[in-house]
Amino acid sequence: MIKIGIIGAGRIGRVHITSITTRVHGAVIKTVADPFLDEDTAAWAKSMGVGHTTKDYREIIEDPEIDAVLICSPTDTHSKISLEAIRSGKHVFCEKPIDHDMDKIQEVIKALENTNLKYQVGFNRRFDHNFESLQKTVKEGKIGTPEIIKITSRDPEPPSIDYVKVSGGMFLDMTIHDFDMVRFLAGCDAEEVYVQSANLVDPAIGEAGDVDTAVITLKMENGAIAVIDNCRKAVYGYDQRAEVFGSKGMASISNDSQSSVTVSNGDGVTSEKPMYFFLERYIEAYGKEIEAFIDAVVNDKETPLGVYDGLKPVLMGLAAKKSSEEHRPVKISEIMQ
Ligand SMILES: NC(=O)c1ccc[n+]([C@@H]2O[C@H](COP(=O)([O-])OP(=O)(O)OC[C@H]3O[C@@H](n4cnc5c(N)ncnc54)[C@H](O)[C@@H]3O)[C@@H](O)[C@H]2O)c1
């Protein structure tokens, strides 16, 4: 039984605490650390079977009994805590993104060299039943050679302005999942990114220096063209769809709803809205990604998403940001320099 430490007990930390204590075999949570841990969260964690809670995450880093760390704290702490955990010999599951700064991600890559430590990044959508089946369909050649990949990714509501200010901007916070998905579906990296973006949802987002609506086109290394459309607000709920068009056909996935009931009557035909947001739509995927991480640690396997899978979408996000600001196509090689 491996012992886990969880750093950060906010929205996503609680999701992972729940997964490990209710469905994942082979792991127990020894400690949860969060500097702003309140009594309710501590009591909840204990009720879930967590051994110990603390406000000091160094207790986890310095505990020789802890084998693996889940980093669920704010983004600006991820690379620093990754380095500390790796240097004290712990396997790491790190929430996305590893960092916004390429140099800091490179430091993490370097620290992992010549170790047998596992590192996984939290791109949970790869574990969603629909996206997983779509990728498998494409990989098996059922639609031939991929030529066009389309991803729709719209949130039901924008985050708070305080969050927007520290998020790194929409491309590095929200679109980063779509960049990972484009790589997953295309089976290769992007070469070039071009963005049309706007501030249409809330002027406060623009005042905070960010955009809230965008269409992003990408040229992939295998020649396919990808299109991502993003908006921070879709009034009908979390809109997460994808389509891959290829030389032999097309495969697509639609949104998940609470039920598939449709009502047909004199007013028309209606069905349920998509599930509200990521915690509803991807709750199963979050459990599966942690199961895969624990499996990699316990059985000494490669993690399904390594540190380079964490780095590549950040490159794409930085290219998108530059393209949006400078109104021109930006090559990934330009960002790498
Ligand atoms: N994969 C996904 O779908 C997904 C979804 C949500 C969030 N995230 C990522 O997870 C991270 C956390 O997001 P969230 O929505 O849970 O935020 P949150 O604000 O709800 O939770 C963050 C928690 O970290 C704690 N914290 C602050 N500083 C800390 C520190 N130095 N050490 C330890 N804990 C600290 C805070 O007290 C808070 O409880 C972000 O990087 C975000 O990008 C990923």
Query: Which atom of ligand 1 has the smallest separation from the CA of 75?
Result: 41
Helix, strand, coil % over all residues of the chain, rounded to 5: 40, 25, 35
Phi, psi of 231 (to 5 degrees): -150, 140
Query: Which atom of ligand 1 has the smallest separation from the CA of 78?
Result: 41
Of the candidates 77, 109, 65, the one whose C-alpha atom is nearest the C-alpha of residue 7 is 77
> Which pLDDT belongs to residue 231?
98
Q: For residue 106, how far is its CA from the centre of ligand 1 (angstroms)?
A: 22
Give every strand in the sheet of 190-198, ordered side by side: 249-253, 239-246, 146-154, 225-231, 213-220, 190-198, 330-331
Do residues 271 and 257 lie in contact, with contact meaning Cβ atoms separated by under 8 Å?
yes
Task: Compute the distance between CA of residue 198 and CA of residue 193 in angstroms, rounded to an integer.
Answer: 16
How many Cβ atoms from other residues are within 10 Å of residue 270's Cβ? Answer: 11
Of the candidates 254, 284, 252, 285, the one whose C-alpha atom is nearest the C-alpha of residue 271 is 254
Task: Give the residue, by CA position, lying nearest to ligand 1 atom 41.
Answer: 75
What is the secondary structure of 88-143 as a DSSP string?
TT-EEEEPSPS-S-HHHHHHHHHHHTT----EEE--GGGGSHHHHHHHHHHHTTTT
Q: For residue 77, how far is its CA from the centre of ligand 1 (angstroms)?
A: 9
Q: Is 68 helix (H, G, I), strand (E, B) or coil?
A: strand
Per-residue pLDDT of the chain (337 residues; tens, 9 = 90+): 999 999 999 999 999 999 999 999 999 999 999 999 999 999 999 999 998 999 999 999 999 999 999 999 999 999 999 999 999 999 999 999 999 999 999 999 999 999 999 999 999 999 999 999 999 999 999 999 999 999 999 999 999 999 999 889 999 999 999 999 999 999 999 999 999 999 999 999 999 999 999 999 999 999 999 999 999 999 999 999 999 999 999 999 999 999 999 999 999 999 999 999 999 999 999 999 999 999 999 999 999 999 999 999 999 999 999 999 999 999 999 998 8
Q: For residue 96, how far is its CA from the centre of ligand 1 (angstroms)?
A: 10
Pick from 6, 58, 73, 76 the residue to mutate for probing ligand 1's pocket: most ligand atoms within 8 Å of its CB: 73
Pocket lined around ligand 1, Cβ cut-off 6 Å: 7-13, 33-36, 57, 72-75, 77, 95-96, 122, 124, 278
Q: What is the DSSP letter of 275?
A: P
Q: For residue 205, how far is its CA from the centre of ligand 1 (angstroms)?
A: 20
Q: For residue 163, how far is its CA from the centre of ligand 1 (angstroms)?
A: 11
- Tell me the CATH number of domain 126-277+313-336, given options 3.40.50.720, 3.30.420.40, 3.30.360.10, 3.40.50.620: 3.30.360.10
Q: For residue 224, how far is its CA from the centre of ligand 1 (angstroms)?
A: 34
Cα separation of the two ends of the chain: 44
Q: For residue 11, how far is its CA from the centre of ligand 1 (angstroms)?
A: 7
Query: 74-80: which pairs have CB atoms within 8 A and are 24 or more residues apart?
Result: 74/8, 74/166, 75/99, 75/100, 75/166, 75/167, 75/168, 75/173, 76/166, 77/7, 77/8, 79/104, 79/105, 79/107, 79/108, 80/104
Would you say domain 2-117 falls under CATH 3.40.50.720? yes
Task: Compute the distance between CA of residue 295 and CA of residue 303 in angstroms, rounded to an integer.
Answer: 8
> Which pLDDT belongs to residue 290?
98
Query: Which atom of ligand 1 has the smallest separation from the CA of 13?
Result: 16
The one-letter amino acid at 133: S
Per-domain boundaries in the chain: 2-117, 126-277+313-336
